[in-house]
């Protein structure tokens, strides 16, 4: 079966795979590797947090004690021992009470948050502080130091998309016949990745969790039934992978090396195959593939980029990937065995974009690219055996767009496009074959670019709302459901 992927992941599932275990990953060796991590945190001294201090004794050293007479030594020894036990018990009770009080306060603080606070977190082999890439055994934990949303905006009654161009914070896929959608997002404290499964319009009651601290929002992809792969950039700038292969997740994040200054892009053209891209510290695009085992090194496909990459595949042995160059012009490249492997960078001039581009494939020999133009219009260009011209997808919101778009293939030759207006409201457009419908107002107040997933004509779309929890709507049988809350607490900026 033909497999097509968009920026958000799988649209048409491949046959059930037989998964071979990933080989050991070779550390990154490219020249762009930095010896010190700019995101790393200094390690604490050995045993930090565990020192209890030197015991000074429980008796006042200023006291004087009359030595007992030899014949009463045993009696006074017993009395002294009893007194010592009493003093220790008294001091221990005070310390225990203080610790118990702090534990109760901590429990109360956890109880006051959403249900995600009750999730059990396990580092699963991750070190407790960031380290240099050559020493990593798992994704480093720590405190992210990237952009922070001003508190006045984060607690305001309006969407941050009115003042910032909201970027992608969520990723959604369809990976099994049991679920129509699974949505992923970084937790509000950037200490975990939360995910929830949905069946049509019904979702799990609680969020599941994968621990981790991220420099950029992770992306997810599926090569078919029962398989999920998550890619993320750690605090050390390296790419990390973790996967679900029915019925269990891999035990820990595994470093694929590298040093990246953008979110990753990932795609699968079929069972057992993964391709992932990122922008290096030298602004070039890098690629690594999995085909039973991961490539030993990252391969530079060149370029000079000002945006994250986006990638799609219209079938086996074909990859298309795009990005913005330093003039914000869209440039496209490909890998195709029928044309000798890697292609050349092709600038698609005629417009400049101010949002990262999104590429999707809804048919063989065909791709679509959508992005927000510097002219304020949502722009679209397509390839169908040859590249067409840029067109503006006008008739949308009266004001300006407030987020980068997302595009998802929901059925044969059908592309659904979503974006947030500057007032936080969600809008939808559909391209069916060569016919484009009008923009549809879906309302809500979102604080992130949307994420969407489509399967057999049904489309589910998600965004982070004003309370930083998740909201969703579903288009089924040509009818949109009302907004539904999925709870949780999510980061709106990393």
* DSSP letter (8 states) at residue 246: T
For residue 87, pLDDT over 60 is answered with no
- For residue 221, what are its two tokens? 């992809």
> Which of 66-75, 274-283, 420-429, 451-460 is the least confident region?
66-75
- Residue 5 is predicted with a pLDDT of 41
**Mean pLDDT in residue range 16-25:** 30
**Model pLDDT, residue 285:** 98
pLDDT at 190: 96
Burial 128-141 (b: 16+ CB within 10 A, else e): ebbbebeebebbbb
Plot region of 205 (φ>0 → left; ψ -120 to 50 → alpha; else → beta) = alpha
Q: How far apart are CA 212 and CA 141, in angstroms?
A: 6
Q: Residue 156 has what pLDDT?
A: 52
Mean pLDDT of 386-405: 94
Place of tokens 């998740």: 470
pLDDT bracket for residue 342 (50, 70, 90): very high
Please tell me which residue, 43 or 297, carries the higher pLDDT value.
Answer: 297
Indicate the fold that domain 152-487 takes in CATH: Neuraminidase (2.120.10)
Strand, coil or helix: what is 105? helix
Mean pLDDT, the chain, whole residue set: 77
pLDDT confidence tier of residue 142, bands split at 50, 70 and 90: low
Q: How far is Cα of residue 68 from the mean position of the Cα atoms in its chain?
A: 72
pLDDT tens-digit series, residues 162-171: 999 999 999 9
Task: Return left, alpha or beta for 468; rule: phi > 0 is left, psi -120 to 50 is alpha, else beta.
Answer: left
Whether residue 168 contacts residue 186, with contact meaning beta carbons closer than 8 Å, is answered with no
Token look-up 């490219």 returns 30
| 398 or 338, greater pLDDT | 338
- Token pair recorded at residue 171: 């990723």
Tens-place pLDDT, residues 293-309: 999 999 999 999 999 99
Mean pLDDT, residues 29-49 taken together: 29
d(CA 418, CA 354): 16
Residue 429 has pLDDT above 50, yes or no: yes
**pTM passes above 0.85:** no
């Amino acid at each position: 079966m033909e497999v097509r992927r968009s920026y958000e992941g799988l649209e048409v599932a491949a046959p059930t795979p037989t998964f071979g275990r990933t080989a050991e990953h070779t550390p990154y060796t490219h020249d762009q590797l930095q010896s010190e991590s700019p995101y790393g945190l200094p390690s604490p001294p050995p045993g930090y947090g565990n020192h209890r201090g030197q015991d000074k004794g429980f008796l006042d050293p200023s006291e004087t004690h009359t030595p007992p007479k030899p014949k009463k030594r045993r009696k006074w020894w017993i009395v002294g021992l009893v007194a010592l036990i009493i003093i220790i018990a008294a001091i221990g009770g005070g310390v225990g009470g203080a610790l118990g009080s702090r534990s109760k306060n901590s429990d109360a603080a956890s109880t006051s948050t959403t249900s995600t606070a009750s999730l059990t977190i396990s580092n699963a082999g991750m070190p407790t502080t960031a380290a240099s890439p050559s020493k990593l055994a798992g994704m480093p934990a720590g405190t992210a130091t990237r952009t922070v949303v001003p508190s006045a905006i984060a607690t305001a009654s309006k969407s941050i998309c009115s003042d910032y161009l909201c970027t992608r914070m969520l990723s959604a896929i369809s990976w099994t016949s049991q679920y129509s959608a699974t949505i992923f997002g970084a937790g509000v404290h950037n200490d975990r990745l939360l995910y929830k499964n949905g069946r049509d319009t019904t979702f799990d009651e609680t969020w599941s969790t994968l621990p981790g601290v991220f420099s950029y929002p992770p992306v997810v992809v599926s090569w078919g039934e029962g398989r999920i792969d998550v890619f993320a950039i750690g605090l050390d700038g390296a790419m990390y992978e973790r996967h679900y292969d029915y019925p269990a997740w891999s035990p820990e994040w595994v470093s694929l090396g590298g040093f990246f200054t953008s979110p990753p892009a990932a795609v699968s053209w079929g069972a057992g195959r993964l391709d992932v891209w990122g922008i290096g510290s030298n602004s070039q695009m890098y690629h690594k593939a999995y085909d039973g085992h991961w490539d030993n090194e990252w391969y530079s496909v060149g370029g000079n980029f000002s945006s994250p990459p986006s990638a799609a595949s219209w079938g086996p042995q074909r990859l298309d990937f795009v990005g913005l160059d330093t003039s914000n012009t869209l440039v496209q490249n490909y890998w195709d065995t029928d044309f000798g492997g890697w292609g050349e960078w092709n600038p698609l001039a005629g417009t400049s974009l101010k949002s990262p581009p999104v590429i999707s494939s809804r048919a063989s020999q065909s791709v679509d690219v959508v992005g927000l133009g510097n002219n304020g219009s949502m722009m679209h260009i397509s390839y169908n055996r040859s590249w067409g011209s840029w067109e503006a997808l006008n008739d949308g919101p009266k004001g300006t767009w407030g987020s980068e778009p997302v595009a998802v293939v929901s059925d044969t030759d059908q592309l659904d496009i979503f974006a947030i207006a500057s007032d936080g409201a969600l809008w939808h457009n559909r391209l069916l074959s060569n016919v484009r419908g009008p923009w549809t107002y879906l309302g809500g107040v979102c604080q992130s670019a949307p994420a969407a997933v489509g399967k057999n004509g049904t489309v589910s779309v998600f965004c982070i709302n004003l309370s930083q929890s998740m909201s969703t709507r579903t288009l089924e049988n040509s009818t949109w459901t009302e907004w539904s809350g999925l709870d949780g607490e999510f980061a709106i900026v990393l």
